[in-house]
Structure 1
Amino acid sequence: MTRRHEEIADELRRAIADGGYPVGAALPSESELAATHGVSRGTLRQAFGTLQAEGLIGSRQGARRVVLAATPSQSFTELRSFAQWARSGGRTPGGRVLSSHRAPATEAEAAQLQLTPGDEVLHILRIRTLDGEPVLLERTVYAGWTAEAVERLPDDCESVTQSLYEAVGLVMSHGEHHLDAVAAGTVDARELAVRRGSPLLRVRRTTTTTEGRPVETSDDRYRPGTVVFTVRNSVQANPLARTAPTRTSP
């Protein structure tokens, strides 16, 4: 059963997405919103906490909460599947496999997946959607030992991460991400409904099991304006590193 603070978070999230509270605007005061929804301030603060964790609103002592973004963010402090991230923001995830084939691993793929060049890997091209709109094109290479389990999944599988866990107990627990911007190629433009050459946010990621065994490596390309990533750091812990760009094909 949905708890009251989750319902309030959903309502506020929709209002922000619809422009009722634009970016930069202050939300009504705690007392006003508590009266509007008929709840205590404690319940309301739980709803605020959810939206703050998603990067939608910010707070400062003695001031009203301010809208920071219209799109929930994915934080690198946690590893979640696309479907889990979408549902956390009140969106409906979807998608389908566009192509699938096995092939010998290239030297680069073998290095990323801790294989020997020539070992068999599985290539999957998958489009992801939010509320029916294309937002992400995934080019994923799975280590050969996972290929059979991945191929058994339906083409419109909502969450590969969750389905692999349920089917074979595979847990993807660690991820390394590299962000940059690329120009949309022919396939990107067609599947994401953008012009060829349009800027796309690219996230190259490699995911491993709890034992550190690589499961997949992927080149994920996001349509502009569909996702925000956040990195939280401090002088005590700094997960963000700058690296020189590498030459890769678009």
Structure 2
Amino acid sequence: MGDIHLNTTKKTPKNTAMATTTLMATAPATTLTAITPSKAPPKTPTATPAQERTEIIRRIRTIIRTDQLISGERIGTERALAERLGVTRAALRSALDTMERNHEIVRLIGRKGGIIVSDGKLIRNIDTIESLPAIARRQGFTLDTTVLNATLTVASPVTARHLGLVEGTPVYALSRLRKLSGTPLSLEQSALPARLFPNMLTIPNFGKSLYGTLRNQFSVEVSDAEENLDILEASEEHAMLLNVPTGSPLVRIRRDAYTSDGTPVEHAVDLFVASRIRFTLKATGYVRLSASA
């Protein structure tokens, strides 16, 4: 049997190669436009310190008017008012300085202190021995003192009784005029035992701050005082010196001052123009005036 040869030819079909299709995403054409930057909005001008001070003063006045605060009433503490207004304490102090110079407010220290409404009158506590110059200075006023008369004389019956002296004992008699920011405020007449303060009348400016002179020159500290207050009408002489019409109301304070050991050092009668000062008093309890009360 003859050999059979199988001749197998593997044919590759024509055009059988796979066509590769490439899909290309074509982005839409973008037109680039040059952007011209717009003008920045105008900046709000920053207030100057003077403008800020003026605005704070305006707002404080509005608080006083809206809350119907009257002279002597408390606006608040510096911290509380700064928070209420939303300003710094430094800016508030600048405004308060201006208002205090204008005598619209006073600033008091202590537990009951704070910013107090003022009507331009000097505020004096009736139960204090603080000197008038110190009170005025603390409230932003200028107090000028003119010594009208200062002599070495002898104690009258009234003076001797109040100072615990024998009638005729040598005493100093002083008369002073006080002006508050240039306006007459008070007439003060004082008597002091001469033996306690030798050569006092020769000390320069001794009458400007009498208690200061006693403390600094003689080491005598006034620690207590008894005062009586009443009202009288200005005489022609008083009216002329205080620049008020005759018959104007005056507040009279009669005072006896003592050292800590009870030694009398001054008997005084002060006359204040009633329209230029306000007196305050803190009541601490019931005071029995007589055994039958």
TM beyond 0.5: yes
The structure, 1 or 2, with the larger RCO (C-alpha pairs under 8 Å, 6+ apart) is: 1
CA distance in 1, matches of 2:275, 2:115: 14
Change (3 A) 1:156 1:114: closer
Aligned partners of 1:76 and 1:230 also within 8 Å: yes
1:113 is matched with 163
Residue 156 (structure 2) pairs with residue 125 (structure 1): no
2:137 to 84, 87, 111: 87
What are the within-5 Å matches in structure 2 for residues 144-163 of structure 1?
A: 144-146=194-196, 148-154=198-204, 157-163=207-213
CA distance in 2, matches of 1:168, 1:92: 26
2:109 is matched with 50
Opposite residue 50 of structure 1, the aligned amino acid is I
Opposite residue 32 of structure 1, the aligned amino acid is R
1:73 is matched with 123
1:35 to 64, 82, 87: 87
Change (3 A) 1:115 1:230: same
Aligned partners of 2:172 and 2:192 also within 8 Å: yes
Residue ranges of structure 1 left out of the alignment (5+ in a row) = 1-10, 58-66, 243-250
2:269 to 194, 207, 219: 219
CA distance in 2, matches of 1:70, 1:131: 10
Residue 147 (structure 2) pairs with residue 97 (structure 1): yes
2:220 to 165, 170, 173: 170
The alignment covers a number of residue pairs equal to 210
CA shift, 1:104, in A, is: 2.0
TM-score normalised according to structure 2 size: 0.61
- CA RMSD for the aligned pairs? 3.4
SS at match of 2:159: helix
CA distance in 1, matches of 2:250, 2:232: 5
1:139 is matched with 189
Deviations 1:3-41 (A, max 9, x none): xxxxxxxx9xxx7xxx8857735849732345154579x
Pick the structure with greater CA Rg: 2
Residue ranges of structure 2 left out of the alignment (5+ in a row) = 1-52, 97-105
Aligned sequence identity (%): 25
CA shift, 1:123, in A, is: 1.1
Deviations 1:56-103 (A, max 9, x none): 73xxxxxxxxx3754352223431111111111111111111112222
CA shift, 1:188, in A, is: 1.1
2:247 is matched with 197
CA distance in 2, matches of 1:205, 1:91: 23
1:184 is matched with 234
SS at match of 1:97: strand
CA distance in 2, matches of 1:55, 1:178: 29
SS at match of 1:125: strand
SS at match of 2:228: strand
Change (3 A) 1:24 1:106: same
Change (3 A) 1:190 1:48: closer
Opposite residue 284 of structure 2, the aligned amino acid is S
1:3 is matched with none
CA shift, 1:130, in A, is: 1.4
Moved over 4 A (4+): 19-23, 25-29, 51-56
Deviations 1:101-124 (A, max 9, x none): 222212111110000011111111
TM-score normalised according to structure 1 size: 0.71
Aligned partners of 2:206 and 2:213 also within 8 Å: no
